[in-house]
Structure 1
Amino acid sequence: MPRSVDLWIATRKGLWKLAGDAGRQRWSLSGPHFLGHIVHHAVADPRRPGVVLAAARTGHLGPTVFRSADGGQTWQEAEAPPAFPSEPNGRVLDHVFWLTPGHSSEPDVWYAGSVPQGLFRSDDDGRTWQGVEGFNQHPRYRDWAGDPAEGPPGGAKLHSVLVDPRDAAHLYISMSSGGTFESRDRGASWQPLNHGVRADFLPEPPPGSYHEYGHDPHCVQLHPLAPDRLYQQNHCGIFRLDRPGDTWTDIGANLPTPDSVRHDIGFPVTLHPRDPDTLWVFPMDATDVWPRVSPQGRPSVYRSRDGGTSWQRLDSGLPAEQAWFTVKRQAMSADSHDPVGVYFGTTSGEVWGSTDEGERWTCLARYLPEIYGVEVS
């Protein structure tokens, strides 16, 4: 029997919950939680109903993580939030940017990515956090992470923490900027995984070589039922990786370019929960000035049913003109219904949803602050 759907909406001014009935026809908005504080990400634990973690940057507490065990009715701040060691001229954590539940065999484990780039782990369900020293103190960290002063808007960030559902020790992380990296020993050691990814903003590499690091992945997703399939929405295109290979394939080149406006660039990529070949992206204008808006003010989602070989534009129900919002990397997700529901939140504070895998869109909520994250519970 179909279950109801809850969406956790993280925004620049707080956290809201958008609750849908089992038919996904009636929606009710509740909140806010943490009004006035920046909430970058809020994630419900798929291993334990009712548990939700929220990454917040508060005016008086600074960067922290909150935990709820009752579906958001009450919250407790972490006793020891993610933080870098206190060192002269050391890194200072600006905010927690990304949250990921650990492996199903480790129900108390969570991972967090931060600004500036850092990886953290909790072994007690988000109450206390420790740095993953194998990454944070890696001898090549400074090479991989680059100069934080030259990072993207909002700061250089670590995101897209992925756990292989077959192996709790097998992890992926991505950095904007820096690239994608892989560990097979719970984060004790790491290797770059960027072969085949374009980095148009870097000097041309010597013939026959490639940039080992320095890339700008925006969002990377691993398919839960086919964990050897990864997709990446990047600053320079859309890519797919099929393990055990280590070379990404450019699938963004197959995206249609109406009116010759390149838009194989965006932030989110969302996967069908049962079909590894189906994915959705939300493109933005990729002209030289990088305005971070919908191309020509005509927003659309693009869907591929064949792993990125071909794409279909899906804009029925969306504004036809003069709509200049875009969608950030955590702000698009899918439910597990049949047909799948797809949801995204915009920089102009709207939540849109489709209950038929993108064929038609409906605005589910308006007038919220700028949306940073939309996660299905």
Structure 2
Amino acid sequence: MGNRVRLLVGTNKGVFMYTSTADRTQWELSGPFLAGWEAYSVLGDSRHGDTIYAGTSHAAYGATIRVSRDYGQSWTQIEEGPAYSAESGFALNRIWQLLPGAPSQPDTLYAGVEEAGLFVSHNRGRTWEELDALTKHPTRPGWFGGAGGMCLHTIIVDPVRPERIWVAMSAVGVFRTEDGGATWRTSNAGLARVPTGQPYDEIGYCIHKMVADPDRPDTLYMQEHGGVFRSDDAGDSWYPIEEGLTMRGADAPFGFPISVSKTGDLFLIPLESSEQRTMKDGRMLVYRRHRDETVWQPVGDVVPEEKRHVSVLRDAMTVDALDPYGLYFGTTSGEVFASLDRGVSWQRLPGQLSRILSVKIWITED
């Protein structure tokens, strides 16, 4: 018996899966599954047997959640998936995030959607309900979408206090609940506000991605349109952590994903600028900073022999929890890369996929 390490890759043309043993040196590619469907979110869940959930969308058929219990060979659609009421006036365009509940919530799943909202299932995904106190927040008339749409793309559940949840939305900001979604408060003080013309000072922040420190429940990290930030008080206040990120001189660093390892290593893949949104000079550089350090370092030149004028999207980088941990990301040109030495050296995994929207780790037992 041993672990199987799987990378679930959502693209704009279906889902793919890479599979390896615990040494993660050789990878087998399978797929595409759900060919032709966008998959902005994919979740591997082994709490009740090995199950894959995929948040799919299609220009003709809309947004759905699909489920596979045979590693992608067959899929069923959840019939009573997330849905806004007709009275809400909101459209459900995409499922941007799927997340399991805390360890004390073995039957719970969360879904973040576009138009921005949060849904929860307490019966393993069979039925869903909207946590509508969020979409009925007093600032809701001023919510404004970013270039990728008005999406709720990040959900963080406190593993010890599951009633405490953070969500991040583009280009709205961070909201936190302390009571399981009955009430919500904005958590954006100190961030770089995007001028959207709406009248609410506490929103209008274009969050690209947010992660939680695995050992410090009140510590959060964020890649935002206006820079890279950290909070040590559960989001009550934020401060920049940008020393060493000199991609654009004195300007704030721009990028989409941010990841944190179980040991407190933070990773970024900065881009040229908000206007360019590709690797500076075609160099695919990975930056690392430990939680207790003060300066980011460019630790990995992923393909030094070639130019890559591509991007890495907000949900396309992930870290596993093995020892040593593995770091993975996928590009908008459909390549997947893996590192087992804290981002210094990189292996290109086999295959050329479509535009990669999401990369998620899933570890199963044989």
Common topology (TM > 0.5): yes
Counterpart residue number, 1:107:
106
Output one character per residue of 1:148-181: Cα deviation in whole Å (capped at 9) or x when no partner.
xxx2233111121110011111010011011001
| Residues 46-65 of structure 1 aligned to structure 2 (within 5 Å) | 47-59=47-59, 61-65=61-65
Alpha-carbon deviation of 1:265? 1.5
Is the 2:111–2:120 contact (alpha carbons within 8 Å) kept by the matching residues of 1? yes
The farther-off stretch of 180-189 and 297-306 is: 297-306
Secondary structure in structure 2 of the residue aligned to 1:365? coil
Task: Give the Å deviation of 1:3.
Answer: 3.0
Cα deviation, residue 137, structure 1: 2.4
The equivalent of 1:141 in structure 2 is: 140
Task: Give the aligned residue type for 1:222.
Answer: A
User: Could you say which residue in structure 2 is the equivalent of 1:170?
Assistant: 164
Change (3 A) 1:2 1:266: farther
1:184 maps to 178
Report the CA distance shift for 1:318/1:38 in structure 2 as closer, same or farther (over 3 A): same
Structure 1 residue runs without a partner (length 5+): none
Partner secondary structure for residue 349 of structure 2:
strand
Q: 1:225 aligns with which of 212, 215, 218?
A: 215
Match of 2:260 in 1: 271
CA distance in 2, matches of 1:72, 1:34: 8
Asked if 1:86 corresponds to 2:86, the answer is yes
Report the Cα offset of residue 355 of structure 1: 1.1
Question: Is the 1:261–1:295 Cα contact (8 Å) retained in structure 2?
Answer: no
Secondary structure, aligned partner of 2:192: coil
Provide the rounded CA distance (Å) in 1 between the counterparts of 2:57 and 2:235.
39
1:125 aligns with 2:119: no
The alignment covers a number of residue pairs equal to 361
Structure 1 residue 46 displacement after superposition: 5.5
What secondary structure sits across from 2:134 in the alignment? Answer: helix
User: 2:231 corresponds to which residue?
Assistant: 241
Is 1:196 the equivalent of 2:222?
no
Question: 1:291 — aligned with what?
Answer: 276
Cα pair distance change 1:99/1:307, threshold 3 Å: farther
Q: What corresponds to 1:350 in structure 2?
A: 335
Which amino acid is 2:226 matched to? C
Structure 1: distance between partners of 2:49 and 2:295: 37
Q: Is the 8 A contact 2:286 2:302 kept in 1?
A: no
After superposition, the C-alpha distances for 1:221-249 in whole angstroms (9 at most, x for unaligned) are 11233211110110011111112572111
Identity of paired residues, percent? 36
TM-score by length of 2: 0.92
Offset at 1:21?
Answer: 1.9
Could you tell me which residue of structure 1 aligns to residue 204 of structure 2? Answer: 214
RMSD of aligned C-alpha atoms?
2.2
Q: CA offset at residue 317 of structure 1?
A: 4.0
Q: 1:168 to 1:46 in 2, by over 3 A?
A: farther
Q: Specify whether residues 158 and 223 from structure 1 end up closer, same or farther in structure 2 by C-alpha distance, changes over 3 A only.
A: same
1:29: Cα distance to partner? Answer: 0.2
Secondary structure at the aligned position of 1:128 is classed as: coil
Is the Cα contact below 8 Å between 1:298 and 1:319 reproduced in 2? yes
CA drift at 1:103: 1.4
Alpha-carbon distance in 2 for matches of 1:255, 1:366: 33
Compared with structure 1, are the counterparts of its residues 306 and 118 closer, same or farther at alpha carbon in structure 2 (3 Å cutoff)? closer
Quote the offset at 1:62 in angstroms. Answer: 1.6
In 2 relative to 1, CA 317–245 (structure 1 residues): closer, same or farther, beyond 3 Å? closer
User: Could you give the per-residue CA deviations for residues 164-219 of structure 1, whole angstroms, max 9, x where no partner exists?
Assistant: 0111110100110110010011111100001111125468x9xxxx9421101111
Q: Determine if contact 2:286/2:301 at 8 Å carries over to the other structure.
A: no
The C-alpha deviation readout for 1:55-90, integer Å capped at 9, x for no partner, is 0013553200012234333322112121110138x1
Tell me how far apart the structure 1 counterparts of residues 323 and 244 of structure 2 sit (CA, whole Å): 26
Kindly indicate whether the alpha-carbon contact (under 8 Å) linking 1:2 and 1:337 is maintained by their aligned counterparts in 2: no
Point out where structure 2 has 5 or more consecutive residues left out of the alignment. none
CA distance in 2, matches of 1:102, 1:367: 33
User: For residue 254 of structure 2, what is the amino acid of its counterpart?
Assistant: I
What letter matches 1:14 in structure 2?
G
| Kept in 1: contact 2:213–2:220 (CA 8 A) | yes
Distance 1:80 1:307, change over 3 A: farther
1:329-344 to structure 2, matched below 5 A, reads 329-344=314-329
* Secondary structure of the corresponding residue to residue 226 of structure 1: coil
d(CA) in 1 for partners of 2:248 and 2:190? Answer: 28
Bigger CA drift: 11-20 or 356-365?
Answer: 356-365
Residue 55 of structure 2: SS of its match in structure 1? strand
Tell me the amino acid that sits aligned with residue 316 of structure 2.
Answer: A
